[in-house]
Amino acid sequence: MAGYERAKEEHEDTMKRGDAKSHLAARAIATQQSASKSKWLATTGTGSLMSFVTARSMKIALLPIPQNDNPEKEGFYMEEFQKQLSNQVHLDVLVKEGNHAKAILKHVADNVGVPDGMTMVVSNRDDYLKEAKDRGMITCRIQPLNSRRGNVTAHYNVKTLADVEEVVNEINGISFNAVFKMR
């Protein structure tokens, strides 16, 4: 029971903190660097999700868009993103460019050292989700409300990045929603 209470407390703390700390840290780094208009911040909820996953000692890989028109620019943005969250998040693998989802996921699997069956791919891209399913990985599609439905059926579908936390808790055997509904 003590483990449950601790997990419940960590979840509540994460929910209270929100994303502000990550966004403020990212903005501070961005303003310290050159005033280029090409700076970008991750989608709301990204920092919070990655901090949540990092706190649970899970490994994180950041993947590029396969067959991107400008892989050098995307790689630069990914490095900037990594710098923005370096105080709260540890990225185990940063793949800056790649032509095919299959090769990218193989590279990640080879470098992370986690069996495919214990790996979850979170994406809104059919190419990643298809290759992940073919490898035996768990798939989670981010599909915002009123967005196009993908051609690949994922194990989990969520509307926002914040909802991925619930998927992680479900996979780890802790379902806070079920416990809260019992109260």
pTM of the model: 0.68
CA 67, distance to chain mean position in Å, is 20
Using CA atoms, how far apart are residues 33 and 24, in angstroms rounded to an integer? 14
Which residues of the chain, if any, have pLDDT below 50? 33-40, 175, 177-179, 181-182
pLDDT in the model for residue 159: 93
CA 183/CA 165 separation, integer angstroms: 21
59 touches 112 (CB < 8 A): yes
- Report pLDDT for 38: 43
The identity of residue 91, as a single letter, is: L
How high is the pLDDT of residue 23?
A: 58
Residue 159, phi then psi, degrees to nearest 5: -90, -30
Tell me which residue has tokens 């989608």: 43
pLDDT at 24: 58
